[in-house]
Amino acid sequence: MIHRLPEFVSPISPDAADVVLVVGASRGIGYAMVEALLSKPEVLLGSPNHKPLIVLAACRHPQRAEALQALQRQHPQQLALLTLDMANAEAFATLTQQLKSLTPTLRAVVNTAGLLHEPATDSQPALRPEKALSQIRVDAVMRSFSVNAWAPILLAQAVLPLISRQHAFCFASLSARVGSIGDNQLGGWYSYRAAKTAQNQFLKTWSIELARTHPLATVLVLHPGTTDTDLSKPFSAHVVPEKLFTKERVAQDLLAVLRARGPESSGGFFDWANESVPW
């Protein structure tokens, strides 16, 4: 469902505005990305003489995303909210239809949806990162993989019809350094690590295929650094303050990486400081 669609934007002319889709926009880094794009679009687009930027913010429950709704009231002509549950593989076809009804092309897609832990609900048990082999459960592995591993490549499938062959495009998805096999020194967090590793391989593989047909497109896998959000809160007590970033800072840093990296970097894994992360 499309919520609060600004009247003039439908359908958006590519000459009139650049359109960016942010997924996982309800809170954390995704919400901060939407805020940053609306307040300082030049962080992504470079020159201050850029076209107007329209942000499509997708999240599971837009009707419950109060901060995002408040932002939409402040920017009624630049921000529309879309519903997308990344764990529902069937939702992606609907997303494609919705996007096509809004715009012929996207300038960028930033996927920030991720899952490390979740409280128990009536329908499912709590999700916690495993500390030991004995704690691995198939249902928990599946829950982590559905959001962290294969949702990003299903999102790529969904947005493919909106990627121009003639104009620059960037698809960036948040991974995590713990998804690096080469950098794994602590162990633990089996499902989350493996799911992020799988995401990295999916997107690396897509970047090679995409380069053959869309030479101006860039696919990036990004590590945000340890960021003060709901996701890191249970584990951040021992992180020294200078290594625990605010989500606002991380959003700006990651958008700067998107701006700096072009097709020659496609298929790369980079951190918030624009440094390569080992696979």
Ligand X SMILES: NC(=O)c1ccc[n+]([C@@H]2O[C@H](COP(=O)([O-])OP(=O)(O)OC[C@H]3O[C@@H](n4cnc5c(N)ncnc54)[C@H](OP(=O)(O)O)[C@@H]3O)[C@@H](O)[C@H]2O)c1
Interface with ligand X (CB under 6 A):
24, 26-30, 59-61, 84-87, 112-115, 147, 174, 176, 223-224, 226-227, 229-232
Token pair in block for residue 124? 């499912």
27 or 214, CB closer to ligand X?
Answer: 27
Question: Do the Cβ atoms of 109 and 163 come closer than 8 Å?
Answer: no
17 or 20, CB closer to ligand X?
Answer: 20
How many helices (H) and strands (E) in the chain? 8, 8
Question: Do the Cβ atoms of 107 and 20 come closer than 8 Å?
Answer: yes
Q: How far is the CB of 236 from ligand X (least distance, A)?
A: 7
12 or 272, CB closer to ligand X?
Answer: 272
Q: How far is the CB of 234 from ligand X (least distance, A)?
A: 11
Q: How far is the CB of 82 from ligand X (least distance, A)?
A: 11
48 or 241, CB closer to ligand X?
Answer: 241
**Angle at CA 197, nearest 5°, toward 191 and 198?**
90
Q: How far is the CB of 64 from ligand X (least distance, A)?
A: 8
Residue 144 dihedral angles phi and psi, to the nearest 5°: -65, -45
175 or 265, CB closer to ligand X?
Answer: 175
- CA atoms of 260 and 36, how far apart (whole Å): 16
Q: How far is the CB of 14 from ligand X (least distance, A)?
A: 27
- CA atoms of 126 and 140, how far apart (whole Å): 9
- CA atoms of 237 and 233, how far apart (whole Å): 8
